[in-house]
C-alpha cells in the first residue's frame, strides 16, 4: 500500500512539472507618470501627484461679501476654514449643472490652503513618459494656457492636459480674490 501511495505522489509530481508555467520573462519596465484626473470645462486634466493633498465632495459653504464671482465661499473642513473656488468660472467658463458629481481638489502649499471645485474627479491616471507632449494642444491662447504644462495622450487617443496647480497658486490674480 505504501508503494502504491508513493507511486501516486510521484505521478502527481510529474504532472505538476509538466503543466507548470515557466518563470516570467524579464520584461523591460516602461517609466510611467501618474496624476489625479479631473474634468473642467468639458476637458480632461491631470494634476501631478503631490500638488493635490485631498479630494472630497463639495461641503456646505458660507458666502463671502466683496469677492470675485468665482469665489464660492468658506467651508469648515475638520476644523479648518477652506476657501472654495470655482475653477471653471475662474478660467472664464462655468461648471456643469450636475452638482452631485462636482468634487473639490484641495491645494495646500506653505502660503495657500484652497479648494478648487471641478466638474468631476476621474481618479488616478497613469501614462507612459513617451506619451507626453510639451505643448498644451488646444489650450494655447486660452485662459488655461498659463497653467497647462504639456499633455499626455492615452491609449484611447484622449488628450489629458497637465494642470499645474502651483502655477495657479502663484498667479497674483488668483491669490487676490477681493473685488477691491
Q: How many domains is the chain partitioned into structurally?
A: 1
Q: Can you give the pLDDT at residue 30?
A: 79
Q: Can you give the pLDDT at residue 1?
A: 56
User: Model's pTM, two decimal places?
Assistant: 0.78
Does residue 14 lie within any of the structural domains? no
Q: Which of 66, 96, 72, 99 is nearest to 84 (CA)?
A: 72
Does residue 90 lie within any of the structural domains? yes
- The CATH code of the domain that includes 135 is 2.40.50.180
Does residue 170 lie within any of the structural domains? yes
Asked if 161 and 43 touch (Cβ cutoff 8 Å), the reply is: yes
Does residue 7 lie within any of the structural domains? no
Q: Which domain holds residue 40?
A: 32-175
Q: How confident is the model at residue 6 (pLDDT cuts 50, 70, 90)?
A: confident
Asked if 51 and 82 touch (Cβ cutoff 8 Å), the reply is: no
Does residue 180 lie within any of the structural domains? no
Q: How confident is the model at residue 112 (pLDDT cuts 50, 70, 90)?
A: confident
For the beta carbon of residue 54, count every other beta carbon within 10 angstroms.
12
Does residue 12 lie within any of the structural domains? no
Does residue 16 lie within any of the structural domains? no
Q: What is the mean pLDDT of residues 31-43?
A: 92
Task: State the Rg of the chain over Cα.
Answer: 25
Does residue 163 lie within any of the structural domains? yes
3-state secondary structure of 41: coil
Bridge pairing between strands 113-118 and 80-86: parallel
Amino acid at each position: 500500500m505504501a508503494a502504491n501511495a508513493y507511486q501516486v505522489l510521484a505521478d502527481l509530481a510529474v504532472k505538476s512539472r509538466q503543466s507548470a508555467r515557466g518563470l516570467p520573462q524579464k520584461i523591460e519596465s516602461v517609466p510611467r507618470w501618474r496624476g489625479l484626473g479631473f474634468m473642467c470645462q468639458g476637458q480632461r486634466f491631470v494634476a501631478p501627484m503631490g500638488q493635490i493633498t485631498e479630494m472630497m465632495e463639495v461641503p456646505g459653504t458660507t458666502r463671502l461679501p466683496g469677492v470675485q464671482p468665482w469665489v464660492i465661499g468658506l467651508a469648515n473642513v475638520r476644523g479648518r476654514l477652506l476657501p472654495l473656488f470655482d475653477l471653471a468660472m475662474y478660467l472664464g467658463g462655468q461648471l456643469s449643472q450636475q452638482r452631485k458629481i462636482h468634487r473639490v481638489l484641495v491645494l495646500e502649499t506653505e502660503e495657500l490652503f484652497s479648494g478648487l471645485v471641478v466638474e468631476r474627479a476621474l481618479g488616478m491616471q497613469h501614462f507612459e513618459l513617451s506619451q507626453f507632449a510639451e505643448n498644451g494642444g488646444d489650450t494655447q491662447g486660452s485662459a488655461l494656457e498659463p497653467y497647462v504644462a504639456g499633455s499626455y495622450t492615452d491609449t484611447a487617443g484622449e488628450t489629458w492636459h497637465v494642470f499645474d496647480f502651483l502655477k495657479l497658486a502663484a498667479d497674483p490674480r488668483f491669490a487676490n480674490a477681493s473685488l477691491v
